[in-house]
């Protein structure tokens, strides 16, 4: 059991390390690609990669299971990324980064309310949440004046909520007993289907010739194969072993990884405020993961 839990924690950490660096690839691609184009290409590539990794088909599913797959695809693949990308055009990136980090709180509430085997929420979860959010605010705002944009901030809050819905749906899917790669691929399929109508609402261009540029090709490969195909499998695997709440808490680490990646790859200087925020965020993570005060319900 302990080995399984350790595997779950390692899978969650691997996922967050990769997700925390995706901003670099996205930033490079945004020079010549619209956000919805990056989103569509990366998940189509991710779907094809999972198909190649495991050509076996997912069979004998029930209607209720298919509805769950579809809901997960709508929330975690389509709505989350669309809301986040639109929010970034309406408000500051720092606002979005902080608001998205509320997702573990929403996950905990939804899991506690809707899942019979959900996790009890102890004092440490809420203390850890408050400490981590304080740290994330320090990292994101860095002492600058906070500016609110109701429309963009609400969209970011909506993104955090639908990600929480995805986390809870993923936990339910893990109980179906199917291989994680197959269920993740099915969720991707539904997410892409829901995404297609939105392509007509934005300035979407197919123009695959743009990938003749090696820089664009390498970055979309990283997003499609790494951040999508690999990471959604490892994230869903972690949820299966740890639960929706414990896994979602690792989202607190995304700003920390982003700061570290900025320093190592982009040579950006880490300020004292960012360093203090990193310490607080990690402290909040450890508090929220405390076994003493965050337990599973006894059967």
DSSP for 62-129 reads -HHHHHHHHHHIIIIIIIHHHHHHHHHHHS-HHHHHHHHTTHHHHHHHHHHHH-TTPBP--HHHHHHH
Predicted local confidence at residue 131, as pLDDT: 84
CA–CA gap between residue 105 and residue 67 (Å, rounded)? 25
What per-residue confidence (pLDDT) applies to 71? 97
Is the pLDDT at 296 greater than 50, yes or no? no
Task: Identify the residue with better confidence: 231 or 25.
Answer: 231
Q: What is the pLDDT of residues 187-238, one digit of tens each?
A: 999 999 999 998 988 888 989 999 999 999 999 999 999 999 999 999 999 9
CB neighbour list of residue 90: distance below 8 Å, 6 or more residues apart: 149, 151, 152, 155
pLDDT bin (cut points 50, 70, 90) of residue 94 is low
Cα angle 192-187-41, degrees, rounded to a multiple of 5: 35
* Mean pLDDT for all residues in the chain: 83
Distance CA 77, CA 70 (A): 10
CB-count burial class (<10 Å; 0-12, 13-18, 19+) for 266: exposed
Amino acid 299: pLDDT: 39
Q: Is the pTM of this model over 0.85?
A: no
């Amino acid at each position: 059991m302990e080995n399984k839990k350790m595997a779950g924690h390692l899978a969650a950490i691997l996922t967050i390390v990769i997700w925390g660096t995706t901003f670099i690839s996205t930033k490079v691609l945004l020079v010549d690609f619209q956000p919805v184009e990056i989103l569509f290409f990366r998940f189509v590539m991710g779907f094809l990669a999972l198909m190649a990794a495991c050509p076996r088909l997912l069979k004998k599913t029930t209607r209720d299971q298919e509805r769950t797959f579809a809901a997960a695809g709508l929330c975690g693949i389509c709505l989350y990324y669309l809301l986040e990308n639109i929010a970034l055009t309406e408000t500051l990136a720092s606002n979005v980064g902080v608001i998205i980090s509320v997702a573990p709180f929403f996950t905990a509430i939804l899991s506690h309310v809707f899942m019979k085997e959900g996790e009890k929420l102890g004092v440490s979860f809420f203390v850890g949440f408050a400490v981590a959010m304080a740290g994330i605010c320090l990292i994101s705002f860095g002492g600058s004046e906070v500016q609110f944009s109701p429309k963009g901030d609400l969209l970011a809050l909506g993104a955090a909520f639908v990600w929480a819905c995805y986390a809870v749906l993923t936990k339910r899917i893990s109980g179906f007993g199917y291989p994680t790669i197959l269920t993740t691929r099915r969720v991707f399929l539904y997410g892409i289907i829901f995404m297609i109508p939105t392509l007509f609402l934005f300035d979407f261009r197919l123009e695959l010739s743009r990938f003749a540029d090696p820089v664009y090709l390498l970055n979309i490969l990283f997003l499609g194969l790494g951040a999508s195909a690999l990471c959604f499998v490892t994230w869903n695997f972690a949820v299966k072993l740890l639960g929706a709440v414990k896994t979602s808490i690792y989202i607190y680490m995304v700003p920390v990884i982003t700061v570290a990646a900025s320093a190592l790859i982009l040579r950006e200087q880490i300020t004292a405020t960012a360093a203090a925020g990193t310490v607080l965020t990690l402290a909040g993570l450890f508090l929220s993961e405390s076994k003493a005060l965050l337990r599973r319900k006894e059967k």
